[in-house]
Amino acid sequence: MSSQINIRAAKVCDVDGIEALLTPYAQKKIVLQRSKDDVFQHLQEFIVAEYNGIVVGTVALHVYASHIAEIRSLVVNPDYQDMKIGYSLLEECEKKAIQLGIDQVFALTYVDQFFLRMGYGVVLKETLPHKIWTVCIHCDKFSACDEIAVVKHLSL
């Protein structure tokens, strides 16, 4: 099946699919809710995994500063998990960061083991740029965030 999975930059026609992928996980507070408007406005940040014309996975790269960007909105459709799609999306996101000249990516996550397998290390949230809290403030768990911060240094 993996040969039929296409990892590519998101297009406007993917917005409904991206929102549909994220919504169930946003309802479980695993990722932040992204409205269609929000996805449209940040479309250039998104990468998708497509299988037979269906968007089965997505991830976004949000740049904060010259040296650091966040891996956001990483989700794979449950029917397509454990097929290395998450790995491929993350790898593509890291390539995108390198192309942009960014040497450090981070994520706030509950699946720290997934990121550790991909070469990330756990860090204290306090070491992340303060700017990230401008997004976190929209999260219900802002005052009691229990996500784990993971960081990877990229070779430019």
Residue nearest to ligand COA as judged by C-beta position:
86
- The reply to whether 63 sits near ligand COA by the rule CB under 6 A is no
> Taking CB under 6 A as the criterion, which residues in 108-137 touch ligand COA?
109-111, 113-114, 117
CB 38 within 8 A of CB 75: no
- The reply to whether 85 sits near ligand COA by the rule CB under 6 A is yes
> Taking CB under 6 A as the criterion, which residues in 20-59 touch ligand COA?
25, 30-31
Structure-token pair, residue 51:
């299988």
- The reply to whether 17 sits near ligand COA by the rule CB under 6 A is no
Structure-token pair, residue 6:
């296409």
Say how many C-beta atoms besides its own lie within 10 A of residue 85's C-beta.
Answer: 22
> Of the two residues 102 and 148, which places its CB atom closer to ligand COA in the complex?
148
Cα–Cα dist 151/84, whole Å: 20
Cα–Cα dist 119/129, whole Å: 21
Residues found near ligand COA in the complex (CB under 6 A): 25, 30-31, 74-76, 81-87, 107, 109-111, 113-114, 117
